[in-house]
A and B are shown apart, each in its own frame.
Chain A
Amino acid sequence: METYLRQIKSWSFLILVLAPFVMLGLTVGIGYLSGTSGQDSQRIAVIADRSSLRKQFIRQNKSDVKADIHSTSAAKKAVKANQIAGYLVLKSDAQQVTATYRGGQSLANGLKAQVDVLLAQQQQQLNLANAKLSTAQAQALQQQPQFKQIVHKKTGSDKIARLISFWVMVLLVYMILITYSSITATEIASEKGTKIMEIIFSSTTASKYFLGKILGVLLVIMTQLVVYVVGGWSSYLVAQRVSISKELVANNQDLINKVLGNLFSVNLVYLLLGVVLYTILAAFSGALVAKAEDASKAAQPATYLSMIAFFATFPFQNNADVLVVKILSYVPFFSSYFMPLRIIDQSVSGWAVVGSLAILLASILLLIRYIGGIYEGLMLQTDDTSFWKSFKRGISYR
């Protein structure tokens, strides 16, 4: 409990927890500001001899048209003042519809396509009228081709969702592992340096104390995850309602649902257990240093191992069903990275997940038991020797 309270009251924890939300806020804010400030100069004016034609174009391209400019002279002035990107002049007589765009740069592709569509529609109406066709003939010419697409399960947005889920998951695991390994190793190494351990071990057993430490860190991690889940969900709900992000969320609803589905799943259990396992390793190496100044050294084994596992996932982001991934998804210290990879890829059975989790859980319990047993020896010997000598002496201290 002391470990938990000390950690969650620290500035580093607050920064750690709030950083993603601050970053999200900043990104959205900057995006919104740059979007609104740059919007006017990107828009165009539309001038037409037939007001119905102009209105139709404006209705279809509301966000791209500055509607309060009606005349060519006003448009020219606005272009000069850099208030608009250019202006489109639409003309229509009995035979032909024409559109002329004048501006510093060519019309944006999306908008040009809209202009083409409008011109084609208008020209077709003129052509039909001029051809003086019967109703049946006119209807026959209205016949449109049909295009159908059937998307298989593992293509399209599903593939993008997997890729996003992979990166979010792997980065999340990596960041949290590195952070907590460092926090734990530093905390334990600093206690060892002060030799307060003799007083503590005259009050409680070393294994109980070690377990308490790990549980304390586990509670801190769970607090962080709860904040992330609640904060992430709230941000998602807000994003669905706020005008600047509403459209983006609506357009990508399917993708977002898939990514969220991949994240809020058994993968979170892997994240949690992975952090616990790495925390135990960090605590163990923290107990091997002689003084607090060496705490950064203490975190190295856990940090390096985590980095190796992290980088090892890179080649397999698109082929999660190869043998190496299958093997590593059962190996403790690696399974927290590799099994989520397979789960996201949907190429693993439920039983395999249960088996891998059981191995991970058993490794945690065994490590706690083993390190809890030698913890007193490790913490009470303070000779400044090498890592391995310190380890050997710690084991044989009693």
Chain B
Amino acid sequence: MLAIEHLSKSFGPLQALNDVSFTIQPGEIMGLIGQNGAGKSTTFHSILGFLKYSGQIRWHDQPITESVFDEIGYLPEERSLMPKLTVEQQIVYLARLKNKSAKEIKPQIDDWLAKFAVKGKRTDKIKDLSKGNQQKIQLICTLIHQPKLLILDEPFSGLDPVNVDLLEQAIFAAKKQGAAIIFSSHDMGNVEALCDHLIMLKAGHVALSGRLDEVRNQFGKTHLFVTTDWVQARLEQLPQVVKVTQLAPQRYLLQLADPAAGPEIFQQLTQGHYIEEFSQQAPTLDEIFRMKVGETNA
């Protein structure tokens, strides 16, 4: 288990992290979201020991030292490989730093290249690969030693939807093998698709924390999607409706001041008749993110 307790870090007058705490169990995926400069990379750098910090970071109740480096897989925000090495040399070099032998790693390389649909051979030089394929090689380097703690800084940036799927599958496979995974992303779609837990950082503070469904439900089911022949002005008259947005012809999003008004709105709108759509939901992660960012800027 990765346990972070009261993590704080400042760079001169800038408080980059302030009393951040969370835990990740083996087999769990944690999503770390926040605006640029919110402290996501600083959190990762603290876990990896690149920075001195106050607070405690422990992996299986032990401080993270060189002895557990082999269990960590880390993908930095900016991708970087050694352009003059071949694919095989690059993968073997980084795996050897994780105390894996070339003998152990070499037979696995073809399978991993196929798994990530890399267009290129193991004998190709890194510099001759396309940017997307270089990114895949970097992911292979992060995963091939089967880490128990996976730290991915913006793993989806620059990937097309097909490759996003491939990466999601790889992350789920690592989860299935019992890895504790933490990743940052600006794309709330990826976060909603993958995460068990969520942390949102806002100027170094924890703004949101918890299971994904819990976080969403904290905000109440204030979003009501309806498909009806009622006009917008009439919908605005319904109880507890604060805003009506037309999404498509005869399709609207009603924002409620009080989620408890749902049944009454249903009665008035349907009057016992069939209605094509009536769906009361909590705000999406994207909306929550924007809402929280708005609070930050206010």
Q: Are A198 and B81 in contact (CB-based, < 8 A)?
A: no
- Complex interface residues of chain A between 380 and 398 (CB less than 8 A to chain B): 380, 397-398
Give the A-B contact count at a CB cut-off of 8 A: 47
Q: A199-238 vs B: 1/0 string, CB under 8 Å?
A: 1111111001000000000000000000000000000000
Q: Are B76 and A199 in contact (CB-based, < 8 A)?
A: yes
Instruction: Specify which of A198, A204, A208 is in contact with B76 (CB 8 Å cutoff).
Output: A198
Q: B164-192 vs A: 1/0 string, CB under 8 Å?
A: 00000000000000000000000000000
| Any B CB within 8 A of the CB of A93 | no
Contacts A194-B81, A204-B69 given; indicate if A199 touches B50 (C-beta within 8 A).
no
Q: How many residues of A sit at the interface, in one of the four size bands? A: 10 to 19
Q: Are B74 and A198 in contact (CB-based, < 8 A)?
A: yes
| Any B CB within 8 A of the CB of A154 | no
Q: Are B141 and A198 in contact (CB-based, < 8 A)?
A: no
Contacts A194-B81, A195-B80, A198-B74 given; indicate if A380 touches B97 (C-beta within 8 A).
no
Q: Are B81 and A196 in contact (CB-based, < 8 A)?
A: yes
- The answer for the CA separation of A161 and B74 in the assembled complex, in Å, is 59
| Any B CB within 8 A of the CB of A2 | yes
| Any A CB within 8 A of the CB of B61 | no
Residues of B within 8 A of A196 (CB): 80-82
- The answer for the CA separation of A208 and B69 in the assembled complex, in Å, is 13
Q: Are B82 and A194 in contact (CB-based, < 8 A)?
A: yes
| Any B CB within 8 A of the CB of A345 | no
Q: B84-105 vs A: 1/0 string, CB under 8 Å?
A: 0000000001100110000000
Chain B nearest CB from A27 CB (Å) reads 35
Chain B nearest CB from A74 CB (Å) reads 69
Contacts A195-B76, A398-B52 given; indicate if A200 touches B82 (C-beta within 8 A).
no
Q: Are B69 and A202 in contact (CB-based, < 8 A)?
A: yes
Chain A nearest CB from B3 CB (Å) reads 19
- The answer for the CA separation of A202 and B69 in the assembled complex, in Å, is 6
Residues of A within 8 A of B78 (CB): 195
Residues of B within 8 A of A376 (CB): 50
- The answer for the CA separation of A204 and B228 in the assembled complex, in Å, is 62
15 additional A-B residue pairs with CB within 8 Å, beyond A199-B74, A204-B66? A195-B76, A196-B81, A196-B82, A198-B74, A200-B97, A201-B48, A202-B48, A202-B72, A203-B70, A203-B97, A205-B66, A208-B66, A380-B50, A397-B51, A398-B51
A-B contact pairs, 28 of them (CB 8 A): A2-B93, A194-B80, A194-B81, A194-B82, A194-B83, A195-B78, A195-B80, A196-B80, A196-B81, A196-B82, A198-B50, A199-B74, A199-B76, A199-B80, A199-B94, A200-B97, A201-B48, A202-B48, A202-B72, A202-B74, A202-B151, A203-B70, A203-B72, A204-B69, A380-B45, A380-B50, A397-B51, A398-B52
